[in-house]
Amino acid sequence: MPWPPEVGSRAQPACSDRVDIVTEDLNRLIHSFFEIHYDVSEQPELLHEALRLRYQVYCVEHAFEDPTAFTDELERDVYDDRAMHTLLVHRASGLIAGTVRVIRTDPERPVGSLPIDGLCRAAELFDESVCPRATLAEISRFAISKDFRRRVEDAPTPAGVGQNWTERKPTEQRRIPHLSLGLLQAMVCNSMSAGVTHWVAEMEPALLRMLAKLGMHWRKLGPLIEFRGKRQPCYTLVDRMLDRMLAERPEIWSVFTDGEKCVPEGANRPS
């Protein structure tokens, strides 16, 4: 079946109008600022740091979840046992900067085992030719520390992205690259190691526009829904997404694939 229009694709600037995030090796710069712990599921201390940040962002700052339900101040739910949890740590200070998780489907009950299944009724979501359940995963709990959102002047949303997000070259005083990039790299590398080929998510429209500007394109799954504000259910094929990114934004592609270390089988590489 033909693919629907990609989210944000009509609003893309011409390449000549694009402002690059940095002029040097962006992947090296990110690793110089942050330790990217791809999957801390089997590291209790680091996992607790991820859950603690989730509590701060989702329970305290935004009240999406009931803080009284987590007396230990570690926000968790039934999906965590099937998820790969990423933790981003600022090297210079040791402070926790961000987290995200990639939730796998339940092999014994794949349909109905992801959060999106209870929120979105689009037919494509339940079509095996579009979203194959065996290799499908949901991106969730994408959160950035309030301290770092303040430091890089980003918006007070869980993902740290506002309506008027634009790329900016860093000054000497503001050289920390956007925190999302380290988390996005971990999403790709975790998915490749786990054999995940397709992603689904419910995202803020502003975050989708930011990702499209970086060359990361998603496709809509039905209309906007009301879930902690306006959210767009969406999906993408990881290898196709990376192929288009390589053509549009090769410097961002290098970050997402950690300098070609995480390129899914069948995806293109630089010629």
Answer yes or no: is 271 within a domain: no
pLDDT of residue 96: 93
> Between the CA atoms of 241, 220, 142 and 84, what dihedral angle is there, to the nearest 10 degrees?
-60
pLDDT of residue 44: 97
The pLDDT of 113-121, averaged and rounded, is: 97
- State how many domains the chain has: 1
Query: What whole-number distance in Å separates Cα of residue 25 and Cα of residue 260?
Result: 13
CATH number, domain of 52, equals 3.40.630.30
Average pLDDT of every residue of the chain: 85
Answer yes or no: is 215 within a domain: yes
Query: What whole-number distance in Å separates Cα of residue 30 and Cα of residue 182?
Result: 7
Answer yes or no: is 70 within a domain: yes
Model confidence over 216-255: pLDDT tens digits?
999 999 999 999 889 999 999 999 999 999 999 999 999 9
Answer yes or no: is 10 within a domain: no
**By percentage, how much of the chain surpasses pLDDT 70?**
80
Answer yes or no: is 263 within a domain: no
pLDDT of residue 238: 97
Answer yes or no: is 9 within a domain: no
Query: What whole-number distance in Å separates Cα of residue 50 and Cα of residue 183?
Result: 12
Model confidence over 130-189: pLDDT tens digits?
999 999 999 999 999 887 767 655 544 444 444 443 444 444 334 455 778 999 999 999
pLDDT of residue 177: 56
Q: Is the pLDDT of residue 9 over 50?
A: no
CB 167 within 8 A of CB 19: yes
Query: What whole-number distance in Å separates Cα of residue 110 and Cα of residue 196?
Result: 14
Model confidence over 187-217: pLDDT tens digits?
999 999 999 999 999 999 998 998 999 999 9
Query: What whole-number distance in Å separates Cα of residue 267 and Cα of residue 123?
Result: 27
β partners of residue 96: 89
**H-run or E-run covering 240:** helix 238-248
Query: What whole-number distance in Å separates Cα of residue 25 and Cα of residue 259?
Result: 10
- Indicate the DSSP class of residue 234: E
pLDDT of residue 6: 54
pLDDT of residue 171: 40
Model confidence over 27-76: pLDDT tens digits?
999 999 999 999 999 999 999 999 999 999 999 999 999 999 999 999 99
Answer yes or no: is 5 within a domain: no
Query: What whole-number distance in Å separates Cα of residue 245 and Cα of residue 48?
Result: 33
pLDDT of residue 24: 55
Q: Is the pLDDT of residue 12 over 80?
A: no
Sign, Cα dihedral of 114, 118, 119, 120? positive
pLDDT of residue 155: 45
What residues make up the domain containing 232?
18-256
Query: What whole-number distance in Å separates Cα of residue 172 and Cα of residue 193?
Result: 36
Answer yes or no: is 6 within a domain: no
**H-run or E-run covering 191:** helix 180-194
